[in-house]
Amino acid sequence: MRTTPELGPRDGLDKLATYPYAVLTWIEPTGYPVSVAVDVDVDRSAGMIRFDRPAGLAVPLDRDISLTGSHIRPQPGYGYDERRHVTVWGVASVTDGDRLALAPSSAWGWDEAEVPFFEYSERSVSKARRYFDALSRERGTPVKPRLSLPFLVLRSTRLPFLSATIVPVVLGIVIAASHGSFDLLTAVLTVIGACLVQLAINVSNDVFDTMQGADDANVTPTQFSGGSRVIQYGLVSFRGMATLAAVLYAAGALVGLLLLALRGSPALLAIGVIGLIVGIGYTAPPLKLVYRGLGEVAVALGFGPLMLLGAYVVQTGGALSWEPFVASIPVALLVALILYVNEIPDRRGDAHAGKRTLPVRFGRATVVAGYRIAVAAAYVAIVAGVLADSWIAPLPMLAPPPSWPPQVSSAGITSFVTLPLGDLMLDIASMYRATGAGLPTVNGNSGFLPTHYMPLQRGLESRDDTALDALTTFGPMLVAVDRAASQSADRVAWLQRYSNSKEIFSDADATWFKLPARARPASACPDATVPVVAMRDWWGPLSANVLTDGDDATIWMTAETQHAGDLLVLDLGRVAHVDRAHLDP
Amino acid sequence: MAPIPEPVEHLLEAALVGELTVIDGHGRPVTYPLIPLYDGERIYLTSSALFSRKLEHIRGNPKVSLSITDPVAVGGATDRATIQGDARVIEEDPHGGWERLLPIWEKKEPAIVAFLKVRVALPLFFERALIEITPRRVLYWPDGQAGTVPRLVTVREEAA
């Protein structure tokens, strides 16, 4: 991996050969640079670049000139990518008649495919610092890079990483609550206190890492790397960060003391003290846990058992339990893995700074295997914890679809309906049960309520025989009346009264009826015309005029088009078979 | 200021990248690919504090040139140009002073606005100085070929 954009002359020549043309540049006698695009022949074996003299321009043969190759790929709507460029320098000589030749003596360039832009930028931070130092000297007053306050707080405290604190703390509180111990005030204080201490640790680790040169040594940080780098960038001074850490520690300690006063217990005190020692000692001397190969263990301990048990004992007033400890194991592993994966890109810088992280100590295969094992262990811990604690039983599980009772035969049956129709869970159960028996079901829909579903539901719920008549014209039908639903006795009585129905089975879940097929009437509308006595929609009585006046703006009371869920009830004043409705003014 | 020849203006307005050449302390040309931003009078380029060596060179010697040579970066146009001029570094406010050219920059690189919104991710990249070039002479190759003698246009100062 290159550490600077400097290249050897041979590398520069090889790279220049990959560009379709080169920009030839020299300094004119007027003192201005001049450039012209030329086609070049790169002779790799001879280490020579040859090109024609540009017409009308005098290329000097007694001083350094340069050839530059440059490439981008335009990306409309975005900008460009695939940035790379290379420049070689050398003194030109005349060759092959009137051609010129150049043997590179030095070169530089950058190819983002080799050195990603983020890394290239990080490698250039020292240049930015020199730039601001020079600007400060020139103006006689400090000139520094800036960030808006919210961004500066976000970056310097590494605020997004608070999720790794909030999760275990809230989990500890929830487990305590499930054990009957919950106090809102101390719960909120616990979250605030833990967050303050976490932020203090983040900031102080930056301070100690800077003291030991670790952050300066890391020139390949990622967005998730340990350090905020605000000191390296010159955004916050070393003293400023140290002060911020002290303030955050003080605020966290204040909350801790308040919690001790409210829920004082030796266990809480012990957990708090151990947590602080582990947090500060992560990078701070004399412990410097991360420098001794104990960084991952320290993070697992701090974000797992200490956070969870700490939150738990605040709520219980000191009582400890195995459950928060078991629950802390997967949290500990997963949070430690956040650190672990981000140690991988940092491993060169960490090694240089003397940090003995796992990726520094072990090879690629071991590091990858370690990640897989830890992830698997986290999930095994979750499953094992649930099983060991018999937490499965009280979990609210959705009941499995009801089975088809052996006393009920679906032979010769055309369709199946469960009453009441339109109850979401019953509709779903009915679909599962019918599918199991290979029967079409009346219940259920795809999520878009079909227009015929509501009238059918209303017909069945108003115990209208014609609703059953219509359904049985398709063939014999099974009806299951759910016994747990309200008015189930009324539905059963209605089915018992229904012509030729046969009650075939009843248990605590449902009463089953078989309804014979009915012949479809020769004329679906025995009465020639049945006048509409009254109409109403969702909003109440409705005048037929709004439907029949021919004015689009009054149709359906509004100018909106009809859609699923609209309701129009036509009251005929008596039971009648209706084939079609005709609205006539 | 007398105008830059129209075809060269078109190249400046279209170019996603141009080659800025400055002169280092040893009198040697150093070339940097940058996005040229043309406001109709002067040519601007921006330089992050991270890559500020070119600014040091310009302070030492303001004579620069800017070439537009890449047909791919100008939408397929095959003509080429080099503009020689005097550069000035504008750095009163590296944090936000350069943002006055953001509308022109955004036309060429729309993503820059989104990047700027999350400048917290790469704060030093957005600490930038402006390089303002006052054109003095233009070399223009209508066919883009180095074998053709370039047209030379001296850009004159406009009468006050």
User: A107 and A183 share a domain?
Assistant: no
Q: Are A332 and A324 within 8 A, CB to CB?
A: no
Reduced to 3 states, what is the DSSP secondary structure of residue A449? coil
Rounded CA-CA distance A489/A485 in Å is: 9
Residues written for chain A: 585
Report the pLDDT averaged over residues A291-312.
Answer: 92
Does the pLDDT value for residue A5 go beyond 80? no
Interface test with A, best of B80, B120, B131 (most A CBs within 10 A): B120
Does the pLDDT value for residue B5 go beyond 80? yes
Rounded CA-CA distance A297/A290 in Å is: 9
Tokens of A39: 């086609």
Query: Residue A538 has what pLDDT?
Result: 65
A525: pLDDT confidence band, cut at 50, 70 and 90? low
Rounded CA-CA distance A448/A445 in Å is: 7
Residue-by-residue DSSP string for A447-481: SS--TTHHHHHHHHHTT-HHHHHHHHTTS-EEEEE
A352: pLDDT confidence band, cut at 50, 70 and 90? confident
Return the DSSP state at A121: H
Nearest-CA distance A288 → chain B (Å): 28
Q: Output A10 or A521, whichever has higher pLDDT.
A: A10
A558: pLDDT confidence band, cut at 50, 70 and 90? very low
Q: Which of A482, A515, A548 is the last residue of a domain?
A: A515
End-to-end CA distance of chain A: 87
Report the pLDDT averaged over residues B103-125.
Answer: 92
Report the pLDDT averaged over residues A507-526.
Answer: 81
| Complex ipTM > 0.90 | yes
- The alpha carbon torsion through A145, A147, A149, A150 (nearest 10 deg) reads -160
Rounded CA-CA distance B35/A72 in Å is: 11
Interface test with B, best of A6, A25, A35 (most B CBs within 10 A): A35
A559: pLDDT confidence band, cut at 50, 70 and 90? very low
- Specify the amino acid at residue A93: S
Domain ranges, residue A569? 523-585
User: A190 and A301 share a domain?
Assistant: yes
CB contact under 8 A, B125 and A146: no
Angstrom distances, CA of residue A516 to CA of A66, A474, A500, A520: 97, 10, 7, 13
Q: Is A375 exposed, middle or buried (0-12, 13-18, 19+ CB in 10 A)?
A: middle
User: A49 and A174 share a domain?
Assistant: no
Q: Which of A105-114, A290-299, A396-405, B69-78 has the lowest mean pLDDT?
A: A396-405
Q: Phi first, then psi: give them for residue A439, nearest 5 degrees.
A: -105, 145
Reduced to 3 states, what is the DSSP secondary structure of residue A216? helix
User: A310 and A379 share a domain?
Assistant: yes
From the CA atom positions of chain A, what is the Rg in Å?
A: 40
Q: Are A7 and B3 within 8 A, CB to CB?
A: no
Query: Residue A557 has what pLDDT?
Result: 46
Query: Residue A442 has what pLDDT?
Result: 87
Q: Are A124 and B47 within 8 A, CB to CB?
A: no
User: A257 and A295 share a domain?
Assistant: yes
- Its pTM stands at 0.68
- Which of A62, A69, A30 lies closest to B23, judged by CA? A30
Rounded CA-CA distance B88/A452 in Å is: 77
A3: pLDDT confidence band, cut at 50, 70 and 90? very low
CB contact under 8 A, A36 and B146: yes
Report the pLDDT averaged over residues A198-227.
Answer: 78
Q: Output B30 or A220, whichever has higher pLDDT.
A: B30
User: A188 and A323 share a domain?
Assistant: yes
What percent of chain B is predicted at pLDDT more than 70?
Answer: 96
Q: Are A238 and A207 within 8 A, CB to CB?
A: yes
User: A282 and A337 share a domain?
Assistant: yes
Query: Residue A171 has what pLDDT?
Result: 95
pLDDT, tens digit, 9 for 90 and up, residues A228-256 = 889 999 999 999 999 999 999 999 999 99
Q: Which of A87, A115, A143 is the last residue of a domain?
A: A115
Of B50, B51, B70, the CB nearest to A70: B70
User: A428 and A370 share a domain?
Assistant: no
Report the pLDDT averaged over residues A288-305.
Answer: 90
Residues written for chain B: 160
When the pLDDT of each residue in chain A is averaged and rounded to a whole number, the result is 86
Domain count within chain A = 4
Q: Which of A515, A542, A560 is the last residue of a domain?
A: A515
Angle between helices A266-281 and A238-263 (to 10 degrees): 170
Interface test with B, best of A7, A15, A21, A23 (most B CBs within 10 A): A23
- Antiparallel, parallel or unpaired: β A6-7 and A22-27: unpaired
Chain A neighbors of B111, CB-CB under 8 A: 78-79
Q: Are A466 and A577 within 8 A, CB to CB?
A: yes
Query: Residue A317 has what pLDDT?
Result: 87
Q: Which of A384-388, A466-470, A483-487, B65-69 has the lowest mean pLDDT?
A: A384-388
Q: Is the link from the previous residue into A286 a cis peptide, with omega within 30 of 0?
A: yes
Residue A537 in domain: yes
Query: Residue A561 has what pLDDT?
Result: 55
User: A318 and A170 share a domain?
Assistant: yes
CB atoms within 10 A of CB A5: 18
- Which of A183, A198, A199, A163 lies closest to A313, judged by CA? A183
CB atoms within 10 A of CB A258: 15
- State the Cα angle at B80 between B74 and B86, rounded to 5°: 100
A512: pLDDT confidence band, cut at 50, 70 and 90? very high
Q: Is A184 exposed, middle or buried (0-12, 13-18, 19+ CB in 10 A)?
A: exposed
Report the pLDDT averaged over residues A330-345.
Answer: 90
Query: Residue A2 has what pLDDT?
Result: 42
* CATH number of domain containing A45: 2.30.110.10
- State the Cα angle at A369 between A364 and A375, rounded to 5°: 130
Nearest-CA distance B51 → chain A (Å): 7
Q: Are A579 and A524 within 8 A, CB to CB?
A: yes
Query: Residue B160 has what pLDDT?
Result: 39
Query: Residue A565 has what pLDDT?
Result: 59
Query: Residue A344 has what pLDDT?
Result: 85
Domain borders along chain B are 6-144
Does the pLDDT value for residue A394 go beyond 70? no
User: A336 and A429 share a domain?
Assistant: no
Q: Give the burial string for A317-336 (b: 16+ CB within 10 Å, else e).
A: beeeeebbbbbbbbbbbbbb
User: A221 and A352 share a domain?
Assistant: yes
Rounded CA-CA distance B80/B65 in Å is: 13
Query: Residue A48 has what pLDDT?
Result: 95
Report the pLDDT averaged over residues A564-570.
Answer: 68
CB contact under 8 A, A147 and B120: yes
Report the pLDDT averaged over residues A539-548.
Answer: 69
CATH number of the structural domain B6-144: 2.30.110.10
Instruction: Tell whether the torsion through CA atoms of B47, B52, B57 and B62 is positive or negative.
Output: positive
User: A562 and A478 share a domain?
Assistant: no
Return the DSSP state at A554: G
Reduced to 3 states, what is the DSSP secondary structure of residue A64? strand
What percent of chain A is predicted at pLDDT more than 70?
Answer: 86
Does the pLDDT value for residue A112 go beyond 60? yes
Judge whether B69 is closer than 8 Å to chain A, CB to CB. Answer: yes
Does the pLDDT value for residue A226 go beyond 70? no
Q: Are B37 and B73 within 8 A, CB to CB?
A: no
Query: Residue B157 has what pLDDT?
Result: 60
Q: Are A109 and A84 within 8 A, CB to CB?
A: yes
